[in-house]
């Protein structure tokens, strides 16, 4: 079950990042060609480029949770015993999970507000809520990732690297450059 959920989430992350990055590059290429070859442009291309690349980066932040690429302080867990390390691991993952819960609730509240007032994006000409929807989507995906890390910690609570423990449990044996 966890392996299937991780596989599905990984596929969504990777394909979304690739598609959005390629879309952003296509918009940038089109804008340059229009500007320098035809001396014209499309007013919404710049905003579309920025939106696509920001969405790709935010999705990459979810992927970074799985891969262990977010910065963290490792000095204290390395100095304490296994029980204290287990407590610190659960506090860190639990704190991140609770923070993501707050961000999800807050982003849904804000999305409903900007939808209610019919705010329009100044460049794209669409309702502002549509580009903003990436925030609740990303925070929901973060909740899933942190939940999976917490689940992995149940089997190895004193792990030096919860993300490496998770990757090992789902059968990902590739070296991601993380020092355990």
pLDDT of residue 179 exceeding 70: no
Whether residue 40 is contained in a domain is answered as yes
Whether residue 178 is contained in a domain is answered as no
The per-residue pLDDT for range 117-155, each reduced to its tens digit, is 999 988 888 999 999 999 999 999 999 999 988 888 888
Domain count, the chain: 1
Report CA-CA distances (Å) from 71 to 38, 61, 64, 118, 169.
45, 11, 10, 38, 22
φ, ψ for residue 120, nearest 5 deg: -105, 145
Whether residue 174 is contained in a domain is answered as no
Whether residue 24 is contained in a domain is answered as yes
Query: Residue 155 has what pLDDT?
Result: 82
Both tokens assigned to 119? 């705010």
Range of the domain at 136: 2-169
pLDDT of residue 180 exceeding 60: no
Longest alpha-carbon distance in the chain: 67
């Amino acid at each position: 079950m966890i392996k299937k959920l991780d596989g599905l989430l990984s596929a969504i992350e990777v394909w979304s990042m690739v598609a959005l990055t390629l879309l952003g590059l296509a918009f940038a290429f089109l804008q340059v060609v229009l500007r320098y070859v035809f001396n014209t442009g499309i007013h919404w291309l710049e905003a579309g480029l920025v939106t696509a690349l920001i969405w790709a980066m935010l999705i990459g932040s979810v992927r970074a949770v799985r891969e262990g690429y977010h910065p963290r302080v490792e000095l204290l867990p390395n100095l304490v015993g296994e029980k204290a390390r287990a407590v610190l691991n659960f506090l860190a993952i639990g704190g991140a999970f609770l923070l993501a819960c707050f961000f999800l609730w807050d982003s849904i509240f804000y999305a409903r507000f900007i939808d209610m007032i019919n705010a329009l994006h100044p460049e794209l000409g669409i309702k502002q809520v549509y580009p903003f929807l990436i925030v609740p989507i990303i925070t929901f995906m973060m909740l899933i990732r942190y939940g999976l890390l917490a689940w992995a910690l149940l089997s190895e609570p004193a792990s030096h690297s919860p993300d490496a423990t998770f990757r090992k449990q789902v059968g990902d044996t590739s070296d991601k450059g993380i020092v355990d």
